[in-house]
Chain A
Amino acid sequence: MKRSVYKSAMSHLKTSENFNEATYQKLMREMEKTEPKGTINQIQTKEMAKMEKAKKRSLTGWTAGVAACAVLAVGIFAINQNGSKGDQTAAPTNAPAATSQPSAAPTQKPPIRGKVAVNIDGVISEVSADGKSFKVGDLWVEVTDQTRLGSSEPTAAEPSEELLSKTFKVGNIVSGYTSQDVSTGKVTADVIYNNIPPQK
C-alpha cells in the first residue's frame, strides 16, 4: 500500500507552535471567570450558606405567621367584646335596669329603664258619640273618670300633649292597660299611657 499522501500533507500543515499552551492558558482564564476560586470546598461552603439562609427564612416566616395569627386572634377577641357591648347598649328599653355593665363605666349611672304592661295598643278606628269610648282593632275601650292618663311610675316622663292628647280621635295611636278581659270585646281602661295624634 502506497504511503498516504493526504495524511502526510495534513501532518505537514503548520499550526501555531504554542497552540496547546495558549489554549490551556485561555481555558484556565475562562475557568477562573466562571469559578473565581473554584474549589469543591467553596462550593460546599456556598451550599451551607444557602441552607443557613433558607433556614433563617423559614424561621422568620414561621415567626411572622405566628405573630400574624396572634394579632388576628386578639383583633377578633376585641371585635367580639365591642360587639357584645354594642348589643347590650342596643338592648330593648324594657330590659331590666339591673343588667347594666358595672365594668364599662363605674362612675357613670346606669340608664333608667322600666316597663309597663300594655294590652290596649293600636290605632283608633272608631270613636263613640260622647267621645268616652273608642275602638282599637275589635276592642271597644271605655275611658271613665277612674281611668288614669299617663304613667304614674316614679321614673316616667311627664305626659305631654303630643304624646297624650286629651281627646280621642280616629287615627290616634293609643296604648294603655286594662285589668279586664280583653277577649270580651269591651273593656274599661285602667290607664292610658299614650294617645298620639297622627302626624300631619
Chain B
Amino acid sequence: MYNSFELNESVRRALDRYSQSLIKIAFAYLKNLADAEEVAQDVFLAYLQKRPVFENAEHEKAWLIRTTINKSKNMLKTGWFRSRNPVPDNLSYLPPEENEVLQAVLALDKKYRIPIHLHYYEGYSIQEIADILQAKPATVGTWLARGRLLLKEKIGGAEDEAFSI
C-alpha cells in the first residue's frame, strides 16, 4: 500500500518511463494516436486507482503493457468505436521507408501485429511476450513467424534477415 506521496511519485515515474511505450502499443492496436493516448491515460488512471504492488520495474512495465492491451481491446469492442469511421492519421511526415513499413505492420491482423510490435519495438523475447499476452511461447513464435512472412510478401527483405523492419 502506498501513501499519497509515494503514489504520486510512482505514477509520475511510470508516466515518464512508460507513457511513450504504452501510447505506441495502443497505437499498434487501435491505429489512431488520439485513441491510443486516451487508452494510455486510462491505464495510468487504473494504476492510480488500483495501486498495484510490483516486484520490480519489469513487473511494473509488464502490468502496464497488459493493461494497455486489455483496454485497447475493450475500446475496439465498444459500439461507438465500431460505428465511427475515423480519418487515418497522417503519417506522411515519416520517411517513406518507415512509413511503408509502419503501414504494412498496421495492415496485419492484430494477433500478428502486437507480438511484432513487442518484439521489434520493445525488444521482448518470445517467452516474455508469451507471459505478457498469456499465451504459449510456441504460439507466440508462430504468430511472429507468420507476421514476418506476411510482411516479407508485402515489402520484401533481405534473404539473411527475416525482413528489414
Does more than half of chain B's interface fall in helix, strand or loop, or is it mixed?
helix
Complex partner residue of B41 from A1, A23, A34, A39, CB under 8 angstroms: A23
Complex partner residue of A23 from B24, B44, B99, B117, CB under 8 angstroms: B44
Residues of B within 8 A of A2 (CB): 158, 161, 164
User: With an 8 A cutoff between CB atoms, is A38 at the interface?
Assistant: yes
- Give the CA-CA distance A38 to B8 in the complex, in Å: 12
| Contact mask for chain A residues 16-46; partner B; CB cutoff 8 A; 1 contact, 0 none | 1001100110111011001100111000000
User: With an 8 A cutoff between CB atoms, is A12 at the interface?
Assistant: yes
A3-11, A115-123, A188-196: which lies at the interface: A3-11
Q: How far is the CB of A14 from chain B (nearest CB, A)?
A: 7
How many residues does chain A have at the interface if contact means C-beta atoms less than 8 Å apart? 28
User: With an 8 A cutoff between CB atoms, is B48 at the interface?
Assistant: yes
- Give the CA-CA distance A19 to B117 in the complex, in Å: 21
Given known pairs A13-B33, A24-B12, A38-B4, the reply for A6 and B116 (CB within 8 Å) is: yes
User: With an 8 A cutoff between CB atoms, is A15 at the interface?
Assistant: yes
- Give the CA-CA distance A28 to B44 in the complex, in Å: 11
Given known pairs A2-B158, A9-B98, A23-B15, the reply for A39 and B4 (CB within 8 Å) is: yes
Q: Are A20 and B93 in contact (CB under 8 A)?
A: no
Q: Are A26 and B19 in contact (CB under 8 A)?
A: no
User: With an 8 A cutoff between CB atoms, is B11 at the interface?
Assistant: yes
Residues of A within 8 A of B121 (CB): 4, 6-7, 10
Complex partner residue of B20 from A1, A6, A15, A40, CB under 8 angstroms: A15
Q: How far is the CB of B83 from chain A (nearest CB, A)?
A: 25
- Give the CA-CA distance A18 to B163 in the complex, in Å: 35
Q: How far is the CB of B119 from chain A (nearest CB, A)?
A: 10
User: With an 8 A cutoff between CB atoms, is B102 at the interface?
Assistant: yes
Given known pairs A4-B120, A9-B101, A15-B33, the reply for A31 and B164 (CB within 8 Å) is: no
Given A6-B117, A26-B41, A27-B11, 9 more pairs with CB closer than 8 A: A4-B121, A4-B165, A8-B98, A9-B95, A14-B33, A15-B20, A15-B23, A20-B19, A23-B40
Interface residues of B (CB under 8 A from A): 3-4, 7-8, 11-12, 15-16, 19-20, 23-24, 27-28, 33, 36-37, 40-41, 44-45, 48-49, 91, 93-95, 97-99, 101-102, 105, 116-117, 120-121, 158, 161, 164-165
